Amino acid sequence: MLQQFKDAIESSNIISKTDTNGIITFVNDEFCKISGYTADELIGQNHNIVRHPDVDKNDFKKLWETINSKKIYKSTVKNLAKDGSTFYVNTTIIPILDENDEVIEYIAIRYDVTKEMFYKEELEKNEVKQKILFAQARHASLGQMLANIAHQWRQPLTELSLTVFNLKKNALSNEEAVQKYYDESKNIINSMSKTIEDFSNFFTPNREVEQFAIKLSVEEALELMDNSLKSSMVDVELRIQDELEVLGVANELTQVILNFLKNSIDAFELNGVLIRQVDITIRRLKEFAEIEFRDNAGGIKKDIIERIFEPYFTSKHQKNGTGLGLFMSKMIVEQSFGGSLDVKSKKHYTIFSIKIPLA
């Protein structure tokens, strides 16, 4: 029976034995297969023949401390095969004791986890890639914001130059008019400086996680876009069915709503829609807050709706679209708020739905 147990283990695992100095005394076929060495090449060699240079010296120290004190050592180990390739093994090293309780040899039982480890590494690489994309997306949205300020300033600047012109015209003859144009100018300048203040407040890296009212964050977005919405003649209705609070960075949610609004405005103009309606509804769904964002800007065609959250996916002309807005929005909702972002489109409507766990 012992022989049968031995056969069973040997045929399904990678097995080696070493003496107390770490010199290999036995290897099975599986060990030869994964390491690329023959049994003759291995027996008599120190076990560090498969040691990978990436592995920290302290790991070996810990290994030897463990097995020298007659305990079982378990770990996932990175090894080097004869041909220079890497393999990973889930390793258990068992000290074998004699009748005097002295270690006489070590048996190592391993199984191959190379595929799993490479998969894990791949995932980690992807995560880094996503972070870089996210940073790029933020950067791009900063550019969009600047464009937005420029847009918001266009009208008051025109007014201002007209007022200053009037001021000059009346400077010598009409004191009353001068005062009037002066006050007007001051008002315009104040409101322009407020615009820039709003935007810079929005972009100070206020990354603090806090409990905040969804309503405020949505209203902030509407305020920042007020001029653009008006000049594009978009009617926005905000329906607050429940006063709800969530946990996260308030500015980031504002950013998501801004992205939606900008996309709606783009779609309204692109599709030449005459009556332009955006409805935003905040409501409670069990343990979640839902923000439903709906426009009648033409809808999203079936063949692209699957792709709109992909980074760099845009249906717009290059100078109008970066394809990062919705990607970034989804990242914010999922990663910062632990929620979900979905889209539906029917006929000429588009509905984005954000669900965020309640605070």
User: What residues line the site for ligand ADP (CB under 6 A)?
Assistant: 259, 263-264, 267, 295, 297-298, 300, 304, 308, 313-316, 321-327, 350
Choice from 325, 341, 354, 356 touching Mg ion (CB under 5 A): 325
Q: How many CB atoms lie within 10 A of CB 7?
A: 10
How far apart are CB 223 and ligand ADP at their closest, in Å?
20
With respect to Mg ion, which residue has the nearer C-beta, 108 or 278? 278
- List % helix, strand, coil for the chain (3-state, nearest 5): 50, 25, 25
How far apart are CB 316 and ligand ADP at their closest, in Å?
4
Terminal CA-CA length for the chain: 61
322 touches, from ligand ADP, Mg ion, none (C-beta below 5 to 8 Å by class): ligand ADP
Using CB positions, name the residue nearest to ligand ADP. Answer: 325
Interface with Mg ion, residue 311, by CB under 5 A: no
How far apart are CB 319 and ligand ADP at their closest, in Å?
10
How far apart are CB 76 and Mg ion at their closest, in Å?
43
Distance between CA atoms of residues 39 and 33, nearest Å: 10
DSSP 11-33: HHSEEEEE-TTSBEEEE-HHHHH
Interface with Mg ion, residue 323, by CB under 5 A: no
Of all helices (H) and strands (E), which one includes residue 200?
Answer: helix 175-203
Look at residue 240 and give its three-state secondary structure: strand
297 touches, from Mg ion, ligand ADP, none (C-beta below 5 to 8 Å by class): ligand ADP
Distance between CA atoms of residues 269 and 297, nearest Å: 8
How far apart are CB 191 and ligand ADP at their closest, in Å?
28
Q: Under a CB-based contact definition with an 8 Å cutoff, are residues 237 and 279 in contact?
A: yes
Using CB positions, name the residue nearest to Mg ion. Answer: 325
